[in-house]
């Protein structure tokens, strides 16, 4: 499985945008980029995923570099509820490969 690298922790102020980076230099052409987050004392939840083009949904935006070797999860206006561990995961579209969770980035949001 291709690996991802994320900063251990980041801080943001409430109501400001947050850019969470992820490096995946060994990504293959059929790997999808997934983002999950885990709020305190809860199971992970899906945030967003993409393949090549930038993606938007109600929770966040995903910006994917042209060479696909890095991506950025963008929270447009951080709230206190966005404080969580964010996981960047690669998953091949060939079903059967498993999700591999790294340690993720712990995001703190300051009021």
Partner 1 sequence: NAGVTQTPKFQVLKTGQSMTLQCAQDMNHNSMYWYRQDPGMGLRLIYYSASEGTTDKGEVPNGYNVSRLNKREFSLRLESAAPSQTSVYFCASIRLDFSTDTQYFGPGTRLTVL
Does 102 help bind partner 1 (rule: CB under 8 A)? yes
- Sequence-separated (6 or more) residues with CB below 8 Å from residue 60: 35, 47, 48, 73, 74, 75, 76
Rounded to a whole number of angstroms, the minimum distance from the CB of residue 93 to partner 1 is 6
Does 37 help bind partner 1 (rule: CB under 8 A)? no
Stretch that binds partner 1, among 9-17, 61-69, 70-78, 90-98 (CB under 8 A): 90-98
Q: What does the binding site for partner 1 look like in residue numbers (CB under 8 A)?
A: 32, 34, 36, 41-46, 49, 51, 87, 91, 93, 95-96, 98-104
């Amino acid at each position: 499985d291709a690996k991802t690298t994320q900063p251990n922790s980041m801080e943001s102020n409430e109501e400001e945008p947050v850019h969470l980076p992820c490096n995946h230099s060994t990504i293959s052409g059929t790997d999808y980029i997934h983002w999950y987050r885990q709020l305190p004392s809860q199971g992970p939840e899906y945030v967003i995923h993409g393949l090549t083009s930038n993606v938007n949904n109600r929770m966040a935006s995903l910006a994917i570099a042209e060479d696909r070797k890095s991506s950025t999860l963008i929270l447009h206006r951080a709230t206190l509820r966005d404080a969580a561990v964010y996981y960047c995961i690669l998953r091949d579209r060939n079903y059967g490969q498993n999700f591999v969770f790294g340690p993720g980035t712990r995001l703190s949001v300051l009021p």
